[in-house]
Amino acid sequence: MVRLAGLPCTAAALVVLLGVPTSVRAQEFLAPSGDGVEADRQASTPASAPTATRVPPEERRPAALLPLYAAFVTLHVLDMHSTRYALDRGAVERNPAFKGLTGSTIGMAAMKAAGTAGVIFFNEKLRTNNKAAAIGMMIATNSMMAWVVQHNYRSVR
């Protein structure tokens, strides 16, 4: 029988809730423009009003990416917590990149933050060329991190 309780179940629920897009968006995205507006709109717009132009559809970020990024950050925080939890109960760090950092929470947090930022940065670059691949990559990395977190918590039962 599978027991669904505790922090891993909470983490899974959080990932599911963050993965569901709940924001309502307007039909057109507007971005500030530094070169002014068209002549016909210029006469009807006060000089102090900010100008805006439409963002091309190919530059828009898919709605699924922000929740996936939030879930990725959350999973890394849970990974750090589960790793500390397991290490405090006698487990041994098997990741060679983190073996030297097991005694330093700040060092571990810095490595996690750098790795998380790197993946998100790479994914943003990927998004400009292939949105589907960017979403697929974040789903894959989130799945991997979810497995790591559950493994860490199960290793010390």
pLDDT, tens digit, 9 for 90 and up, residues 117-144: 999 999 999 999 999 999 999 999 999 9
Domain count, the chain: 2
70 and 43 both lie in a single domain: no
Residue 18 scores a pLDDT above 50: no
134 and 75 both lie in a single domain: yes
Beta-carbon contacts of 138 under 8 Å, excluding residues fewer than 6 positions away, are: 64, 65, 68, 69, 72, 123
Query: Are residues 147 and 82 in contact, defined by beta-carbon separation less than 8 angstroms?
Result: no
Residue 150 scores a pLDDT above 50: yes
Say how far apart CA 67 and CA 58 lie, in whole Å: 20
Say how far apart CA 157 and CA 85 lie, in whole Å: 11
Which residues constitute the domain of residue 44? 30-60
74 and 101 both lie in a single domain: yes
What confidence score (pLDDT) does residue 157 get?
76
25-36: average pLDDT: 49
Say how far apart CA 81 and CA 150 lie, in whole Å: 11
What confidence score (pLDDT) does residue 53 get?
65
